[in-house]
Structures are given as C-alpha cells and as structure tokens.
Structure 1
C-alpha cells in the first residue's frame, strides 16, 4: 500500500509540475467550485466525479458559471460532453456590470451546438452583436463536433486575433478588438419548456495559459475581420489585398472615365461615401469601378445604408452597356427593404438586399442589420461546377470562367447560381436585362459600386483572386 501511495503521489506531483512548467494553469481543482461564481440564471452547477455538471432549469435566464479572475491574452482548453438536445457555450473576455443591462453577462462566446445546424466552435457575441463567426462559411469545421461524445475545445485569444478549434479541427478565425479582457464562463442556456429541464452538460480538464503564448500555425479557413480597412497576417497569406485603404480613392475610377469622379463621392473617417442626390440614379458622381478586371475571385465589402437607400455592387462590368456615368451588369442588391419601394417590385423578392438584382431573390431568412449599422457583402466567383453538363450541351468551358457564383450577407450564404446555363438565360429572358445581348456571359470584368442617388458608406473593401 505504501508503495502504491508513493507511486500515485509521484505521478500526480510529476503531472502537476509538468503542467505548470509548460505554462498551463488548472481552472478547476476537481473537488469544488472554488474560483468560480454563478451569474444571471438559476441553472444548477455542481461537481460530480471530478467534473463540473450544469443542469437546465426551466423559466430562468441564461446561466453562467464565471471565473473570479479576468483574462486578456490566453490559450484555453476544456473537454465537454453535452446532451444532444441542449445548447451551450464558453464565454471568454466577457463582462457583467450591474450598471450595464442589469449585470447581464455579455461578450464573446464559443458555441456548443449539437443540433443539425452544427455551428459548434463558431463565435457569438452574447447579448451584444450576435453572430460574428457562424460556421456556415466553414463546412469542415461543422464536421468537427461529435454528438454524444466528449469534445475537446481549444481557444486562442491573442491581441485582436481570436481562433477556435474543436477536436483539433479549426473552426473560427475572428479579428476583433471590441473587448480586450474579461472572465471565462460556462453557459447553461435558458429553457422555457419543463420537458427540457434536467438536461446536462459536463466539463473537465479546464486549463489556461497566459504567458509565453505560442500561436498554432495559420490555417486556411475564412477570416472574419471586423477591424476596418485592415488585413490580418492570415488574410495576407491567403492572398487578400485591400481595394480601399481608408484614405484615398486609389484603384478606382468613374464609369467611362479615366479618373475618379470630382463630385458625389468622398472619403471620410476611413469610409468611402457616395453622397445623396435625392434618389437620382447616377445623378451626382456616377458609378465607380475597379481599375482591374476579374474573372474568378472572392470580394468583400462592409456597407452602411441610410434610411430608404438604394445601391448595389455590380460585377463582370465591361462598360459596353449603360451610360457615361453608369454601367449594366450582374448586381448584388443593396437596399433598405423596409422603406424602399423597389423591394416590392420584381419577382418573389428578387430586388431585395443580397439578391441577384431582378433575377434571383436572396434567402428570406437572411440576417440584415438596420440602416445606420454595418453589413458585410461577400461575393464568391469560382470556376463552373458543372463542366460535364456544359460539355454535353456543346458549351466551351472558357466561355464561362467564373460560372459558379455565391452571394453572402453577414457571413451567411443567401443565394448561389451558375452562369452560362439554360436556367440562367431563362431568368435573364424574363428580366429587365433581356434587351442586352449576351448579358451576364462575360469572362471577366470590373467590380462596380453604384451611385443610386442615396447616401451609402463603404469600407474594408477586399479582394483575392481564386
């Protein structure tokens, strides 16, 4: 017995020493909830068999078991097992102030989502901005979580870079500077149905490192960058470049012109602003286009509309059609759907925000931020996914460079389509574009920001060739 006791003591001592020597500190002693406190809801937290167990209780707000300490830069790890029918999350750099929302916990949350949506590892801004990094943009990340099993979470928060992994698979890569430090918390989500009471989530092996932090190698998952007009190291490595630096109009010119418009547009506070002209299309400075042309690319821009505003992002612009201040092309619609009458025109909502204007409506469950708040548009234009279909119908592949197109709004895909197909041309034939021969079939073209006579702000304009 003495030999066994001595061996166990030596093993535990060696483990703890190695843990500390490697810079890790345990956040849970395996016995009680020392160093933690509960905020907001009344869900049950207890220690059972060396694990923290959270149990749902009906008709109480979201509950949070929070660390007494706050953390700025850190690497955090935890293993968790969650009931397949409940939702949870790991708060970090989070806050609770009695003078702010009556002490409601708010801040970054790494999602625990065993539902069919499969957004575990995504980043949500609890009680503040909502979804920052939904996993719809990272299909491989959606496959990381294992239902009904223990899952290992790894969170890095170093400076403005926040990255997550689930079971070793990269899930989210966020660049943001909203909150520099705060507590870590274990969430038990609120429920309002008594039949859902008693469901549990378990946590174990909670540890944190706060010094001599070494980032994991960069990954190739999409980056969500919320810092205006800034490229992160990973974005640069992925081939992104800025089309607007927040200071000048370099890289842009007026439609049909060699220079940027002398009026109607200006740069202010890191934003490229098209000025109001009482709703007259191209009635002031006119549309602007990139100097370069693109065939397959990924394009992102933040935009902020004023009430009742109308604008758009056009692509594959050749300036063959239109006027000396405007051009015709495929258009990602930007609109105040609630106030602008164009939202009710067209067919099935194909003139609403995020839609392929007058051709394909955006998904009705899209996330839209109201006028005065920033939204992000994203265009993904790739090579065709239907090469065999094109060949069998006597199409020439080079005629449809960039045939596969996706529209994204606030990091959620709202539509996708194929150029150069019979279905696409059928849509064109019944639209306002039918009178323009070969509409939408160009191999490459400029990207355009529209002057539709309403004030709209743009920033963080980025592109990479695919």
Structure 2
C-alpha cells in the first residue's frame, strides 16, 4: 500500500500524520481495520485526560509525539489514561533509547488495596536489550512474563533497536495478541482483567548520571473501541499461551493439545506402584490436583502418581504452586517397575523445589537439584537471556509454569517462558553425567523409548493445574 496522509483533529490541534506506517505494515490483511473509524489517542500538550503515576519521569508532547524521559532514583513511571478500556485494537509507533526498557500497559490496574496503589497488569514490552523480547506480554507487578519471545525468533528479529517500531495490540474478550512491525509476537488467553487503562512506561534506570534523560517516544497512537472484533487480523500460526485454568482453547485444540488432567477427577492417572489412584495423599478438588503435606518423606504417604499411558515425543505444560519449603518433581520416561521397594519411581526429573528453603538446593553438584534442573544431572541455568543468570520464579504460594519438550533424544526444560535446561538423551555427555549420579546403577537410565508422566509425592504440599500435553 502507498503512504496514507490524513488530517486528525485533536483538542484543537491539527496533526498532519504522514506516511502512516501501520497501513503499509498490516497490508491487505488489515484493509477493514485501516478503513475503520480510528480515534487518535495522542495526548494533548497539556496531557489532559492523562495522569502521571509511579515514578517521577517527565512526559511531554512535542510535534505530535509523546516523549517520556528517565529520571534517576525513581521507580517505573507511567502516563495513565483517565479513561478505561475493555475491548479494543491499539496501534502506535515507539522509539526508545537502546539503553531504556519501556512498554505500553493495556487494561492496566491500580488499586489502593494492592501493593499500595502500584500500577500493574498486562504490558506490551519494548525491550531493546540483547534478549530482545519486544512485543512479549509481561504482567507488571503480578505474575511476570505471560508470553516471552524465547520461542519466537521472527518477532525477536523484527524489532529495530533505536529506531521507530510499529506495534499493534488486539485486546478482545479474554484474548490479547500483539504484533511488532507486522510480525506476530504474542498470543495469550487470560481472565485476570477485562477492562482497565492504557499507560505509557518510562522504566526505572540505574543511579548513573549517564542514564538520566533517556527517551521513550510514541507517535501515531490510535484506537478502535467500536466493534473491534470486526477489524481483528486473521488467525496466525503463533503458539498460544492459555492462562485460564484447566481448559483448552480452540487454538490449542487445533495445535494438538489435550488435557492430561480433566480438572475434576483422577481419570487417566494411577499410583506409580498401584493399579488404581491412591486413596490418600492426593486430592482433586476446586480445580486443583494436590499432593498433601505428610512430613517431607519421599513417596511414603500417597505415593507418586503416573499417567495410565506412555509418551515418547511430546510437549508438556504444567502449572504448579509450591508451599514454602516444598519439594516435588515432574518425571518423564519413567519405568514404574524398576524400583519395587521404598522411594520414588525411576525416571528423568524436572525438579520442583523451593530453592530458598529446602536443603536439597545445596546438595548434588553445582545446583543440579534446584528448581527446573534435570534432577541430579544438569543444573538449571537461564539460557534465554544473555544478560541474566537468575530464574524468573514466582515465590511459594504463587503459580509457575513448567514446560517440557521432548523431540527424539533432544530435551528442553522451560520455566515461566525461559529455557533452563537443554540436552540430548543418550549422548556421551549425558551418559557421563549419569555415571556420576545416583542413577548410575540403572542401565540405560533416561534412554528408554517411552514412559508415563509422573507427579511426585515428596511429602510436601504442592498444587497442580492446567496439565496439558501434545504429542509431537
């Protein structure tokens, strides 16, 4: 499409918007949205209808651009719309200093009864760091990342650091989708907030004089609030992250996902050393599959539970919530007949652990018994962010998401959208690790062709939900 020139009247100021990039970027797919009745959302020079919240960064409107500038010794700053928005399509261009993280909050929230009125909620990220997760969805001051770009190289590569980038956000019903420069970036389904404000962020910066005055610029900000669903872009092949408990969306079904736990009963599961589901130690109530607190011993009360069928190539997603000090695990390629006596069934294990409180975190070698590790073999490391080494873990009492991917011999552990472990089953390196581990006495440990999925009873309270699998 050629350039679009339009005169838009806003609070008495005539804005000439030349060569509006969104028209060209969305191309023929967005003909209906481009021709729709957009409403300009650029604030007036007086910032009428907007309120500064959080930190003390400055906001001005210059030549039709909203400009935020960083200030030292202040938390994240926001320019918040007085208006509330439910369903909408939002488009804007953003340009930030390569040293400055930023973002646009959608359906944002601030309540006096939540963290002293802090701004929180969904944010479409502007991430100029080497990590490059611009367009991902971050749940500010709440659950952290809901959609990273750890598995979306196309969107990662689409962002141009230090230059103008075009964003599109569709918030329709309980679904939020984002695009960066025309490339699909994120797709979530979530039921936390159906309505809220729009806010433009200037992120907090280190206390360094060189970091003062860094700019985050926004322009060509426009919104559709009347029947936005009629102007939504077609479905994409982007994997969807569903945060509504114990359900499958249509997109998930099309992608081959199935519920491994139905959210209500024990169907599809049995005790690892039983021909039925345990009569004690496990409950299936209020949408939670829970192992009870029983003193911290391994598989001595209800015992481990396993799926009633085996899996070989798969992607598994499990939401889990640890009690303080809890220990548990998700095992795969399990042989339930290998250990007849006391103890947990034998298999590869995605470790679930409160690293801060449980002594197991300091055992093993080099942290290979910590959260998200391949238990007793490979320590979890942040493999997704080149500038960070720590884990993005929501503390005990809050939910986290574990993802396991197995394609033949290749295995990956993911935690909250960050890759933590990657290895090849049966490789010389793998076998060398097994030879140094507690599993060295089991021949061909971890190399079996298939096996059930196991949830471990380690005597600590752990809740599970939204247990899903798709075979690859």
Q: Same fold (TM over 0.5)?
A: yes
Q: Under TM normalisation by the shorter chain, which class is it?
A: 0.7 to 0.9
Structure 2 contact 143–394 (Cα < 8 Å) conserved? no
Q: Residue in 2 aligned with 1:135?
A: 149
Q: How does 1:95-114 map to 2 (within 5 A)?
A: 95-97=109-111, 100-114=114-128
Q: Deviations over 1:73-125 (max 9, x none)?
A: 11100011212121111011112345654443222111111111101111122
Q: Which residue of 2 aligns with 1:385?
A: none
How far the C-alpha of 1:205 sits from its partner, in A, is 1.1
Secondary structure of the residue that 1:424 maps to in structure 2? Answer: helix
2:218 corresponds to 1:203? yes
Aligned with residue 136 of structure 2, among 122, 127, 145: 122
In 2 relative to 1, CA 8–440 (structure 1 residues): closer, same or farther, beyond 3 Å? closer
Structure 2 portions without partners, runs of 5+: 1-5, 9-14, 19-31, 382-388
Q: 2 CA distance for matches of 1:42 and 1:370?
A: 29
Please say if 1:455 is aligned against 2:461.
yes
RMSD of equivalent CA atoms: 2.6
Q: How many residues align?
A: 439
Cα 1:324–1:446 change in 2 (3 A) is farther
Rg larger in structure: 1
Secondary structure of residue in 1 paired with 2:432: helix
Q: Do the aligned partners of residues 281 and 20 (structure 1) sit closer, same or farther apart at CA in structure 2, a change above 3 Å counting?
A: closer
Q: 1:411 aligns with which of 417, 423, 427?
A: 417
Contact 1:40 1:63 in 2 (8 A): yes
Mapped partners of 1:431, 1:177: distance in 2: 43
Q: Secondary structure of the residue that 2:99 maps to in structure 1?
A: coil
Correspondence 1:16-415 to 2 at 5 A = 22-28=36-42, 33-97=47-111, 100-191=114-205, 192-214=207-229, 215-323=232-340, 326-363=344-381, 365-382=390-407, 402-415=408-421
The CA deviation at 1:403 is: 0.5
Q: What secondary structure, in the 3-state scheme, does the structure 2 residue paired with 1:216 have? A: coil
Instruction: Tell me the distance in 2 between the aligned counterparts of 1:216 and 1:26.
Output: 20
In the alignment, the residues of structure 2 paired with residue 200 and residue 132 of structure 1 have an alpha-carbon distance, to the nearest angstrom, of 26
Q: Unaligned stretches of 5+ in structure 1?
A: 1-6, 383-401
- 218-227 vs 236-245, which moves further: 218-227
Indicate if the aligned counterparts of 1:407 and 1:413 stay in contact, CA closer than 8 A: yes
How far the C-alpha of 1:230 sits from its partner, in A, is: 1.4
Distance 1:98 1:372, change over 3 A: closer
1:32 CA drift (Å) = 5.7
Distance 1:64 1:318 in 2: 53
Distance 1:105 1:452, change over 3 A: closer
Deviation at 1:20, TM superposition (A): 9.7
Pick which of 216-225 and 227-236 moved more. Answer: 216-225
Deviations 1:323-351, CA, capped at 9 Å, x for gaps? 27842111111122222222222111111
Do the aligned partners of 2:256 and 2:471 also contact (CA within 8 Å) in 1?
A: yes
TM-score (norm 1): 0.88
Deviation at 1:319, TM superposition (A): 2.3
Deviation by residue 1:388-409 (Cα, 9 ceiling, x = unmatched): xxxxxxxxxxxxxx20000111
